[in-house]
Amino acid sequence: MTSPVDVKKKRFGFRGAFAYHDYRMLWIGNLASTGTMNLRNLTALQWLYEETGSAALLGVLGLTQLIQMPLVIYGGALADNADRKRLMSLTQLVPFLMLIGLTISAATDRLEPWHIFFVTMVSGMALTLGQPARTAMVSRVVPRRALPQAVAANSATMQISSVIVPLIFILLFKVWGPAGSFGTAAVLGGLTVFLPYLIRVSGAPAAGAKRVSIQSLKEGWTYVRSHRILPGLYLMDIGVTVMSFYRELFPVFADHLYGYGAGGVGLLRSSNSIGGIAGSMVVLKTTSWKRKGLLVLGATMVYAVLLIAFGLNTNFLIGLGIVALLGATDAIGMVMRQMIVQLTTPDAMLGRATSAHSFSAMGANHLGQAEVGAMSGAIGAGNTMVLGGAVAIVVVLLVWQYIPGVRKYEYTEHDPNAPPDTS
């Protein structure tokens, strides 16, 4: 896929990525989409917890989203066989309409817990179908040699939304309640519907438009399964996250560990995202490092130790620091996984390869939210994190020992297994 900009005239850093018009449009759309989702989730989780007082119910909310999982794979096949820009727009329309409904329900005091479950489930299904197309478009809006920087920059700037939105959430929720928060999210959501059409490069499939078939799904599975590094990374992500997913349960941790409400939730979320920005910057500065597999393993091991520290700590200020470090180490692993997929996968397979990443990550997140929510209600939030950290350490050691491809993985600009640079 030809880039609309001459590669040789651009520098490949944050500035280099943003020098491309199409990347800027994609980035703004991602920023708006992330802001919409974060504000909706924060508002929904906080209202649900205040309304019911149940940590386990927050976990069940994550479990209901497992219905999205088959759509992840189908969305990846769609991204390789349909117009990616149109797919991005249509799948953002559903959450936008759902947010309007939540805003009206909250403003008229008719909001019920089942509304939260229904909107979370349906909106998640739509976003799941569109996410592989959004991710796969990155390789079209910048040249291949700029991909490492673009992926890292994209992750870092998306984290900016996660820093700013919780602070906005604190103000909106305390002053205008859930109606104000949902209404603001709806305004942001409206932007995401038309922004994909401001991208100039074609969204048409590289191999031509065609229906999604069983064969195309099998091709994606075969590619990922035979990849020398992706299966190990995905398995480690699943093993660690299922026992330690904490991000969507900040209302529980703010209450159980520190005795805070919405204000504490917003600060914890912002601190976590600031750490995520720092982690993405670390990846950007280490693009010349060859032993990227070791970087992922090391970051994940530190993440596991920090989980134990988070569970044992009861000081709020120290907790903010630990949560920031958790965000940093988590971002390093996430960005590295995304980068490897983009750099080693041809455009015609990119939707399916990224959907496999989403499948493992989302499945782990949803199962982890349910598991951590249930365990927090049974043995306490702190003990749950200590247990999750211990399990994560074991998982990293098992991957080190039995999946050597991860620790041995090295990448250079001229990786012989990478797709050709046709920019």
394 pLDDT exceeds 90? yes
417 pLDDT exceeds 60? no
277 band by pLDDT with thresholds 50, 70 and 90: confident
Among the ranges given (7-11, 140-144, 226-230, 259-263), the one the predictor scored with the smallest mean pLDDT: 7-11
Proportion of the chain above pLDDT 90, given as a percent: 24
3 pLDDT exceeds 70? no
CATH numbers and ranges of domains, the chain: 11-408 (1.20.1250.20)
Torsion of the alpha carbons at 286, 290, 295 and 296, rounded to the nearest 10 = 110
**What is the average pLDDT value for the chain, to the nearest integer?**
82
Q: How far apart are CA 211 and CA 130, in angstroms?
A: 16
Once rounded to an integer, what is the mean pLDDT over residues 333-338?
80
Q: What is the reported pLDDT for 5?
A: 43
Q: What is the reported pLDDT for 64?
A: 67
Q: What is the reported pLDDT for 148?
A: 75
3-state SS string over 163-216?
HHHHHHHHHHHHHHHHHHHHHHHHHHHHHHHHHHHHCCCCCCCCCCCCCCCHHH
The answer to whether 36 and 99 are in contact (CB under 8 A) is yes
Q: What is the reported pLDDT for 288?
A: 66
10 pLDDT exceeds 50? no
Q: What is the reported pLDDT for 284?
A: 74
Q: What is the reported pLDDT for 8?
A: 40
317 pLDDT exceeds 90? yes
Residue range 186-214, pLDDT digits in tens: 999 999 999 999 999 988 887 665 667 77
Q: What is the reported pLDDT for 65?
A: 66
Q: Write the CB contacts of 209 (distance below 8 Å, at least 6 apart in sequence).
A: 81, 82, 83
Q: What is the reported pLDDT for 294?
A: 85
* Half-sphere exposure for 73 (CA within 13 Å, toward CB): 17
Residue range 153-192, pLDDT digits in tens: 777 777 777 678 888 888 888 889 899 999 999 999 999 9
The answer to whether 241 and 365 are in contact (CB under 8 A) is yes
296 band by pLDDT with thresholds 50, 70 and 90: confident
Q: Is 17 helix (H, G, I), strand (E, B) or coil?
A: helix
Once rounded to an integer, what is the mean pLDDT over residues 380-394?
90
Alpha-carbon distances of 322 from 161, 257, 318, 365, 395, rounded to whole Å: 20, 13, 6, 20, 21
Q: What is the reported pLDDT for 423?
A: 35
Residue range 31-69, pLDDT digits in tens: 899 889 889 988 998 888 888 887 777 777 766 666 777
The answer to whether 207 and 34 are in contact (CB under 8 A) is no
**Better-scored residue on pLDDT, 15 or 263:** 263
Q: What is the reported pLDDT for 375?
A: 84
Q: What is the reported pLDDT for 199?
A: 94
Q: What is the reported pLDDT for 2?
A: 40
As to burial, measured by CB atoms within 10 angstroms (0-12 exposed, 13-18 middle, 19+ buried), residue 262 is buried
365 pLDDT exceeds 80? no
370 pLDDT exceeds 80? no
The answer to whether 372 and 245 are in contact (CB under 8 A) is yes
Residue 120 tokens, joined: 């979370």
Among the ranges given (169-178, 204-213, 298-307, 385-394), the one the predictor scored with the smallest mean pLDDT: 204-213
**Better-scored residue on pLDDT, 324 or 18:** 324
Rounded to two decimals, what is the model's pTM?
0.71
